[in-house]
Amino acid sequence: MLPRKLLVSFFFFFMIFSFSKPVVSATNMTFDFSSFTLRNITLLGDSYLRNGVIGLTRDLNVPTSSAGAVIYNNPITFYDPESNITASFSTRFCFSINNVNPGSFGDGLAFFLSPNNRTLGSPGGYLGLVNSSQLTSNKFVAVEFDTRLDSHFNDPNENHVGLDIDSLISIKTEDPILQGIDLKSGNSITAWIDYKNDQKKLRVYLSYSSFKPENPIMTVGIDLSDYLKETIFVGFSASTEGSTELHQIENWSFETIGYLPARPRLRPHNVSDSSVTVTVNIPNIDSDKKHGKRVGSGFGIAVTASFFVFLAVLGYFSAQKLRGIRRTRSFKAELVTCPREFSYKELMLATKGFHSNRIIGHGAFGTVYKALFLSSGTIAAVKRSKHSHEGKTEFLAELSIIAGLRHKNLVQLQGWCVEKGELLLVYDFMPNGSLDKMLYQESELDPLLDWSHRLNIVVGLASVLTYLHQECEQRVIHRDIKTGNILLDGNFNARLGDFGLAKLMDHDKSPVSTLTAGTMGYLAPEYLQYGKATEKTDVYSYGVVALEVACGRRPIEREGYKMVNLVDWVWGLHTNGKIIEAADKSLNGEFKEEEMRKLLLLGLSCANPDSEERPSMRRVLQILNDEAAPVDVPKVKPRLSFSSGLPLNLDDIVSDCEDSMTSSSMCEIRIN
């Protein structure tokens, strides 16, 4: 039996359909690209399409500059002169900004609205929006995500969001770091831009997850009516100047909101005729009878037709509900081998309705909440994601991998939940949080990781990676080894988690990723170049983590206006015979110098640019346990050149293109 609310809805639909006259209404513009094709967009400059993702700038040798743009093909009308209404709009997109060479970040990207759809501006600080020789010629409204401090445009810093109108001197800027967002982190960042015409306000939201934050990163009181009267094109642009910053747009949705229903057109009256004709009707009984029969017959037909329409609508919604039930059952059938199924109500109560004060972190899968189960008195961590295709893929990846693995240094999965259009995973709660938070203390009151704990952590991590790479029935390549994904239990033992990016594979096959996944600073050079993940790419990431643990420094740190790469910094000290100076100063020398030296050299050997020279994780574990001799580390960091003379056809760039156009291309990257 259908729920009462659904029956009531059907009844009202039935009544409205039966007795209301059709009303013609104006439609609002909307589109949604979960991935991109060339069917509805135009690419300008250096922009390109690869595997459904837009690249706005290219990886060119420094000091080459780059600029590119992507524009939605169809113009959008924001202003209706007949009703004098300017539509509101809302857009959501996912972007990333990263760099192979962390020392050359700049300049950023922008979302724009403009009457011009064919002009690309200059590179550098002009963000591809305006021409450097004609600063006032282009008309636009843009929200910039700027990654370079340019004094010409009064930029406040090298990491800010700003609103620009016909000028690159922003009306208002905000620093997203205040909400924990680093535009140059290399992570996927979701942005929401909402303009409410009735409120005359534009709001910008940013998040590392797919959940829209409650508070905007920037709010600007502005009336955009005068700037949206023409036919407008929407899109993105980005630029670099002497850097290799890469800008990607992964998905994009847009809609206009606020058009009122069109008024019904009335039949025009002839107002020029001043005469009035009066007709006197004499009642006719027979005529009245015939008219009554016609009315009764018409009413009967209308009721019958409406009844069949009601049955059709009832059948449609019933089929939809049945299809949804079958989808959920099918989805749950894929999870039968996994641990316990939790109810949504149970998890809602345990997390206080997924309250913001219960948030303890964000991962590739989604937001993580602390959950307290009052009935048992236990504490758990709940990872939450919306029920989408991508979410389901990551959800099943994490479940299928974790559920079949058993190791003391893995985060233990307790159960799962698929309800209310959401996907949730329940894990053991790790009271000491993630390794990065322990290493980089936010206050002096936070506990300090002593040397014995640090050694225990790198040994535990090496042990679990050895298990994943060589001791499982199927190899597991994690692909996102970093301190943020290493959790610490009550005894500071390492527990590896966040398998949303992991890949299962047979031992005799090599995984190939169509798009590079992971976190900048931890990615191996060959993975960045070819997108091919192997055990050795995990080894590289492990090496970076080992250096972090020993040095207490992040993989990429800013020193003044310069970005310093941890691997390069430690290798430089090794070259000068001063590697022990890389030790974390917060340890106050409370460590064994030989153990510190061994860990630093082991980290460098794992982070060797040449993947063939990196040890296996089994060898790493043996070295840590003094069961094997350390790997020789060259005094000077190797210089490598990757080149590919393989022909690249259009299918390598645009997956849906039917015509195959082949051109010869050479791509090269140098690692110093």
Q: Helix-strand-coil percent breakdown of the chain, rounded to 5?
A: 30, 25, 45
Nearest to 503 by CA among 367, 607, 400, 620: 400
Question: d(Cα 70, Cα 48) in Å, to the nearest integer?
Answer: 9
The single-letter code of the amino acid at 539 is: V
CA end-to-end span of the chain: 69
Do 81 and 235 contact (CB within 8 A), yes or no? no
531 burial via Cβ count (<10 Å: 0-12, 13-18, 19+): middle
| Lookup: tokens for 112 | 């724009």
Question: d(Cα 96, Cα 292) in Å, to the nearest integer?
Answer: 71
φ, ψ for residue 36 (rounded to 5)?
-100, 150
SS (H, E, C) 327-380: HHHHHHHCCCCCCEECCHHHHHHHCCCCCHHHEEEECCCCEEEEEEECCCCEEE
The label of the residue with tokens 């550098």 reads 124
Q: Of the listed 480, 498, 538, 584, which one is catalytic?
A: 480
| Lookup: tokens for 463 | 């042990």
User: If you count DSSP H runs as helices and E runs as strands, how many of each does the chain have, helices first?
Assistant: 12, 33
> Rg of the chain's alpha carbons, rounded to an integer?
31
User: Three-state SS for 441?
Assistant: coil
| Lookup: tokens for 54 | 């837009």
Question: d(Cα 94, Cα 206) in Å, to the nearest integer?
Answer: 10
Nearest to 500 by CA among 344, 343, 418, 392: 392
Annotated binding-site positions for ATP = 383
Strand partners, 503: 477
Nearest to 524 by CA among 509, 534, 514: 534
DSSP code for 468: I
Nearest to 544 by CA among 592, 484, 499, 483: 483
Q: Could you give the C-alpha distances from 49 to 23, 237, 656, in angstroms and in order?
A: 42, 14, 10
Annotated binding-site positions = 383
| Lookup: tokens for 8 | 């009531």
Q: Is 480 a catalytic residue?
A: yes
Question: d(Cα 367, Cα 381) in Å, to the nearest integer?
Answer: 10
| Lookup: tokens for 325 | 């039930």
Catalytic residues: 480
